[in-house]
Structures are given as structure tokens and as C-alpha cells.
């Protein structure tokens, strides 16, 4: 038998791409770092968990149903979203987490030689999906920690297909207000698909923050991402969605992998959408947590970047990866920011006050 010639089989853009290695399971990390507990402050999860109604759905899911395929296109969830936003159910696509819908969009619009545009210091998956699919990811530096509209417009050329805007931006928490976003969309003038990732939409209370789904009738090139992983506490079930103009979504649907969203996720998400009290409670603890951290960080003399969303970024006087290891030894897991191109910064998920206090105490010990 001839030896396998991977060199010949693998495209060059895959060869040069490095696979993302996620962190080990908590139990393994606890053993490695000799800690009996672990506070997860690294993934911006909701420390309240899922809304009670969604938790009930999960509890009631009978094991025998595991043998049955789920709805292939999340039929009932799309109906519910359509009612909520007064749109057609076919204007929604549900994915196995928002990460999957990023892939759908890139596959639907890009071909060899095309490019996408996003920021250099933002959620990494837009850049990754484009790169490992063989398309150029043009990265525009943030300006004052926010997406730079002028910089993006300058980088557009005839082969630019998609512009990804993370609003609010992860990890800086900055956002474009409605006026700025509309001005940008007007200047794009339907030449490109504009994706606005609203993963942290439900956390934002500012009045000038745009609800992009409501702008879809006005801007057919606008595609909006939302997720059930953050506010709705269903990160472990992997479910997110996109919304857009009917023709646009019908095009994206062609690249959509049906049956990728499991039955529990669909039903839990369906139940979660009704719970407004959960959103209020979450917003309250996030606000309290931010207020507490602000005071403590000022007292410690540590610069921080705080905006919308359930996270805060802190600049440390030591390197972030060392801080990560030292905090892990105390059972506190944060996200290092060198990978987001913010060396010596950490991002911390806002949690309840006792955990925030434990974090601050841990931070004091290592600095």
C-alpha cells in the first residue's frame, strides 16, 4: 500500500491554519491545578444558569426520545421567533451555536478570491472560519476599542462579500449606536452582506443600542446573529440563530446543515424565550458585579475596560498567561487576552458577588 500523501491532499490554507485547542474538562483542570473547585469566569456564561422554564424542559426530557431525530430545521422554535419579531419563520435559521451559523453565511456568499472584513481584536471565529475556508480575512484595527467604520469602508473592494460587526464587541464591550450603525449601512448601500453579531444583545440596556432585527426590513443585506448561550444559559446545549431578509436567508439555507440542533436544545430555547424575569435578574447581578469590580479595581490601581455585556477586561502588570496559571491554582478560571491580541489583559465573566469577591481576593494574592 502506498503511504498516505497528506501533503498532496491538504489545501495550503488548511496546512497553514492552526486548529483551536479548547481547554480541558473542568475535572482534568482541577487535577492539573490542584484545586478542589473551579469558578468558570472564562466563557461569559450566565451564572444563574438557564431560565426555570427551560430547566423544567430539560428535566422532563425522557431518555426514550433520544432515539428520535429532532426537527431538522427547528420548526417550532422558528415559529416562536417569528411571532416574537413579527417576521416569517423562514427568515430564521437555527444553528448548533452561533459558531455554526457563521460557517453557513461564509459558505453561502464567499468563493475563491473573496474576502471578509472584521476587526483585529474581536471574537475570533469570523476570522477563523474565513481563513480555514480559504478566504482572506481583512482585519481592521479597533479605534478607541470600538469597530472602526471608516477603516472598514476603506478596506472594502470588489471581492469583499461579508462584513462582520460584533455589537457589543467581545471583549471590549463597545457598541455602535443606532445612528452610527444605520449611517454605516447606508454607506454600504447593499453592496455587501453585513453581519451584526448580537450575542450579548439581551445584556444591553442603553437606549441608543440598536435592535438590528427591527432594521432588517429597511436593510436587506443585514444578517443578525443571536445566541442562547449567554443570557439564556444554554451554552452546554449549543444553540443560536440568525435572522435576515427572506431571500438572503433562503440563500444561506442552502449551506445549512439540517438536523444539527438537538431536540433538548430546541425545546429549552423555545421555553427560555418567554422568561423576562430571568433577563431582569441577570442584568441586576451583572450590574452589581460591574459596580463592585469597578470600585475594587480602582482601589487596586488596575486599568480596566468595561462596557456592555457580562464581562470586563483588565490590564495586568504581569503577563496574562502567568496570571491565568496563578489564578487557576486558586480555582479561578479567567480568559487570557493575548489570543485576542490584547497582551497582558484578562477577560473576566461577571458573576455573583461572592464569586467576584473571591476573584478580587485571588487577584490581590498574585499581584
Partner 1 sequence: MKTLKISIPLHTDFLPVIITFIENSSCVFGIDKQGALKLTLASEEVFSYLCKVIQGDKVLDVICTGHIYFVSVEFFFDKIELNLQAFNITATPPSESEESFKEMGLLIAARSVDSLSIEEASGERLVLRLIKEKSYPTPQAIELPIIPHMTSFALKIPKVDEIKMFSHLLPVYYKNYPFPDAFRYPGKLVDMVSSSIYGMSIATDERGLIGGGIIWKRMNEKIVEFFGPYLFNQKENNQMAESLVNTCLEGLARTEIIGAFCRYPTEAFPTKHFESIGTITFYQKQRNQIEFPCYYRQLQEDNGTYVYVPRTIASFIKAEYKRLVLPRQVYFTDYSGEYLGEYSVFASEFYRELNQVIIRPLLPGEDCLNNILKHLEIFKKEHILNCFFEIDLGIVWQAYVVNSLMECGFKPRIIIPYGGRSDLIIFQYTP
In the complex, least distance from residue 32 CB atom to partner 1, rounded to whole angstroms: 4
In the complex, least distance from residue 282 CB atom to partner 1, rounded to whole angstroms: 26
Tell me phi and psi for residue 195, to 5 degrees. -95, 125
Q: How many residues bind partner 1 (CB under 8 A)?
A: 35
79 binds partner 1, rule: CB under 8 A = no
In the complex, least distance from residue 48 CB atom to partner 1, rounded to whole angstroms: 25
Toward partner 1, which CB reaches closer, 32 or 300? 32
β-strand pairing of 222-227 with 240-244: antiparallel
* Contact in structure between 315 and 304 (CB atoms under 8 Å): yes
Give the span between the Cα atoms of 302 and 308, in whole angstroms: 19
Considering only 343, 352, 355, 358, the residue that binds partner 1 (CB under 8 A) is: 343
Only segment of 164-172, 190-198, 302-310, 324-332 that touches partner 1 (CB under 8 A): 324-332
Q: Residues 195-234: x/- map of binding to partner 1 (CB under 8 A)? A: ----------------------------------------
Give the count of beta carbons closer than 10 Å to the beta carbon of residue 352: 14
Cβ within 8 Å of residue 129, ≥6 positions away: 99, 102, 103, 106
Return the SS3 of 164.
strand
Beta strands in the chain (DSSP E): 39-41, 92-95, 115-119, 136-140, 160-166, 193-197, 222-227, 240-244, 304-306, 311-315, 332-336, 345-349
Considering only 45, 114, 127, 202, the residue that binds partner 1 (CB under 8 A) is: 127
* Contact in structure between 120 and 104 (CB atoms under 8 Å): no
45 binds partner 1, rule: CB under 8 A = no
Toward partner 1, which CB reaches closer, 39 or 241? 39
Only segment of 54-62, 237-245, 337-345, 354-362 that touches partner 1 (CB under 8 A): 337-345
144 binds partner 1, rule: CB under 8 A = no
Considering only 154, 317, 357, 364, the residue that binds partner 1 (CB under 8 A) is: 317
Considering only 324, 349, 356, 360, the residue that binds partner 1 (CB under 8 A) is: 324
* Contact in structure between 262 and 274 (CB atoms under 8 Å): no
C-alpha cell at 171: 471583549
The contact set with partner 1 (CB under 8 A) reads 3-7, 18, 21, 23-24, 28-29, 32-33, 120, 124, 127-128, 317-319, 321-322, 324-326, 328-329, 335-336, 338-341, 343-344
Amino acid at each position: 500500500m502506498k503511504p498516505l500523501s497528506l501533503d498532496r491532499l491538504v489545501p495550503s490554507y488548511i496546512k497553514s491554519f492552526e486548529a483551536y485547542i479548547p481547554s480541558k474538562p473542568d475535572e482534568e483542570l482541577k487535577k492539573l491545578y490542584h484545586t478542589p473547585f473551579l469558578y468558570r469566569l472564562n466563557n461569559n456564561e450566565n451564572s444563574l444558569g438557564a431560565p426555570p422554564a427551560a430547566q423544567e424542559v430539560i428535566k422532563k426530557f425522557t431518555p426514550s426520545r433520544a432515539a428520535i431525530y429532532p426537527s431538522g430545521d427547528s420548526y417550532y422554535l422558528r415559529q416562536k421567533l417569528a411571532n416574537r419579531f413579527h417576521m416569517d419563520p423562514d427568515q430564521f435559521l437555527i444553528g448548533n451555536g452561533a459558531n455554526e451559523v457563521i460557517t453557513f453565511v461564509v459558505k453561502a456568499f464567499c468563493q475563491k478570491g473573496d474576502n471578509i472584513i472584521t476587526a483585529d481584536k474581536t471574537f475570533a471565529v469570523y476570522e477563523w472560519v474565513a481563513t480555514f475556508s480559504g478566504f482572506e480575512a481583512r482585519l481592521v484595527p479597533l479605534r478607541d476599542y470600538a469597530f472602526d467604520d471608516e477603516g472598514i469602508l476603506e478596506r472594502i473592494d470588489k471581492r469583499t462579500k461579508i462584513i462582520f460587526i460584533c455589537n457589543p464587541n467581545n471583549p471590549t464591550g463597545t457598541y455602535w449606536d443606532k445612528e452610527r450603525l444605520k449611517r454605516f449601512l447606508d454607506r454600504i448601500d447593499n453592496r455587501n452582506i453585513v453581519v451584526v453579531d448580537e450575542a450579548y444583545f439581551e445584556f444591553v440596556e442603553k437606549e441608543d443600542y440598536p435592535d438590528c432585527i427591527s432594521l432588517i426590513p429597511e436593510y436587506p443585506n443585514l444578517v443578525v446573529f443571536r445566541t442562547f448561550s449567554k443570557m439564556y444559559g444554554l451554552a452546554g446545549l449549543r444553540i443560536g440563530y440568525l435572522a435576515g431578509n427572506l431571500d438572503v436567508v433562503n440563500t444561506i439555507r442552502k449551506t445549512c446543515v439540517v438536523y444539527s440542533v438537538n431536540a433538548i436544545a430546541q425545546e429549552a430555547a423555545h421555553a427560555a424565550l418567554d422568561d423576562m424575569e430571568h433577563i431582569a435578574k441577570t442584568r441586576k447581578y451583572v450590574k452589581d458585579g460591574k459596580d463592585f469590580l469597578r470600585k475594587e479595581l480602582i482601589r487596586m490601581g488596575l486599568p480596566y475596560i468595561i462596557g456592555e455585556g457580562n464581562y470586563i477586561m483588565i490590564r495586568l502588570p504581569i503577563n496574562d498567561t502567568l496570571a491565568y496559571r496563578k489564578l487557576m491554582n486558586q480555582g479561578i478560571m479567567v480568559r487570557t487576552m493575548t489570543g485576542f491580541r490584547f497582551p497582558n489583559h484578562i477577560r473576566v465573566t461577571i458573576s455573583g458577588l461572592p464569586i467576584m469577591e473571591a476573584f478580587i481576593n485571588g487577584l490581590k494574592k498574585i499581584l
